[in-house]
């Protein structure tokens, strides 16, 4: 082991201790062992409550809906944008498109509120133009049941991230394979699905894992833009944890571990699917 790798060991040990200690404590409380409030019996009742209660199930389904829609749309439009940037090699345009990546999600959420809420800039502009005559005539795009505002924030942040990441991979591709495919008479569609897509497949699946896990467990954006009747799992866990009744905290920890378990399961599933597709390890 060289000196550079050896220097990383203390950092890994310190972080591993903190992470595993927190996981152990969370698992302990989620199983009902919480002596500070008199709970000392190990039980799976908290997990049963989280997984069977209709309200918690609704939160899980809603979070999956937001995460899947935001992730797939971000990947789709991000890849398209990456190919456009590959053809248009303008440095200042690349910098402008990369700008949303540096903005915190909470700032973007506040921008969206100011822009498309019923009292926002677009609504007032429509009122001045005579398109609408009352504020409530403007469609409800914030705090709605479909999560339009939430998804819009994620798309604004994630499409440039996917585009910039994919563009970096596309610029390093061995273009000789594409030229060979063209010489053999392959169409552009066939070249994309048979040559280019397998080359960027691992990157796309990695991006899918990152984006899904982040959006699924996101708190601040649904907190600012969500509908109280449709809570995400992160908001539900926060409500349970912040209640004055400490007996709800084991359920909050159980829900947080369920969130982690779902993210882990999605990660393993995505990696398995990627492994057996043409761009996976079996064919490399």
Question: Quick check: is 73 in a domain?
Answer: yes
Question: Quick check: is 15 in a domain?
Answer: no
Q: What is the pTM (predicted TM-score) of this model?
A: 0.86
Counted domains in the chain:
1
Measure the CA–CA gap between 266 and 258, rounded to whole angstroms.
12
Measure the CA–CA gap between 213 and 67, rounded to whole angstroms.
8
pLDDT, tens digit only, all 284 positions of the chain: 566 677 777 878 888 888 888 888 888 888 888 777 777 778 888 888 888 888 888 999 999 999 999 999 999 999 999 888 888 877 778 888 888 888 899 999 999 999 988 888 999 898 888 888 888 888 888 888 888 999 999 999 999 999 999 988 888 776 667 777 777 777 777 777 777 888 888 899 999 999 999 999 999 999 999 888 888 999 988 888 888 778 888 888 888 889 999 999 999 999 999 888 877 654 44
How far apart are the two ends of the chain, measured CA to CA in Å? 28
Residue 29 Rama label (left phi>0; alpha psi -120 to 50; beta): alpha
CA dihedral 131, 137, 143, 149 (to 10 degrees): -20
Residue 283 has a pLDDT of 44
Question: Quick check: is 1 in a domain?
Answer: no
Measure the CA–CA gap between 190 and 185, rounded to whole angstroms.
10
Q: Whole domain around residue 116: which residue ranges?
A: 53-283
Strand partners, 227: 230
176 close to 96: Cβ distance less than 8 angstroms: no
Question: Quick check: is 210 in a domain?
Answer: yes
Question: Quick check: is 213 in a domain?
Answer: yes
Structure tokens at 234: 């992160």
Question: Quick check: is 9 in a domain?
Answer: no
126 close to 139: Cβ distance less than 8 angstroms: no
Residue 36 has a pLDDT of 76
Structure tokens at 216: 């699924």
Q: The domain spanning residue 129 has which CATH number?
A: 1.10.3720.10
Question: Quick check: is 4 in a domain?
Answer: no
């Amino acid at each position: 082991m060289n000196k550079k790798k050896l220097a990383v060991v203390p950092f890994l040990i310190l972080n591993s201790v903190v992470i595993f200690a927190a996981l152990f404590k969370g698992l302990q409380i989620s199983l009902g062992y919480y002596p500070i409030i008199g709970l000392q019996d190990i039980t799976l009742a908290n997990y049963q409550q989280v997984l069977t209660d209709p309200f918690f199930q609704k939160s899980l389904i809603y979070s999956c809906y937001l995460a899947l829609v935001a992730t797939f749309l971000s990947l789709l439009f991000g890849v398209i944008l990456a190919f456009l940037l590959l053809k248009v090699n303008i440095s200042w345009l690349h910098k402008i498109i990369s700008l949303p990546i540096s903005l915190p999600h909470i700032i973007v959420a506040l921008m969206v509120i100011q822009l498309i809420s019923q009292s926002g800039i677009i609504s007032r502009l429509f009122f001045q133009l005579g398109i609408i005559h009352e504020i409530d005539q403007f469609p409800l795009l914030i705090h709605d049941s479909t999560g339009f505002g939430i998804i819009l924030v994620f798309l604004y942040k994630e499409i440039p991230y996917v585009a910039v990441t994919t563009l970096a991979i596309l610029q390093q591709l061995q273009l000789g394979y594409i030229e060979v495919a063209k010489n053999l008479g392959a169409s552009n569609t066939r070249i994309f699905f048979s040559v280019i897509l397998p080359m960027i497949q691992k990157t796309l699946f990695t991006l899918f894992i990152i984006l899904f896990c982040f959006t699924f467990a996101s708190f601040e954006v649904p907190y600012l833009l969500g509908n109280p009747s449709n809570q995400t799992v992160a908001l539900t866990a926060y409500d349970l944890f912040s209640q004055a009744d400490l007996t709800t905290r084991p359920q909050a920890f159980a829900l947080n571990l369920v969130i982690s378990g779902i993210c882990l399961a999605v990660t393993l599933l995505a990696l398995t699917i990627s492994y057996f597709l043409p761009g996976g390890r079996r064919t490399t």
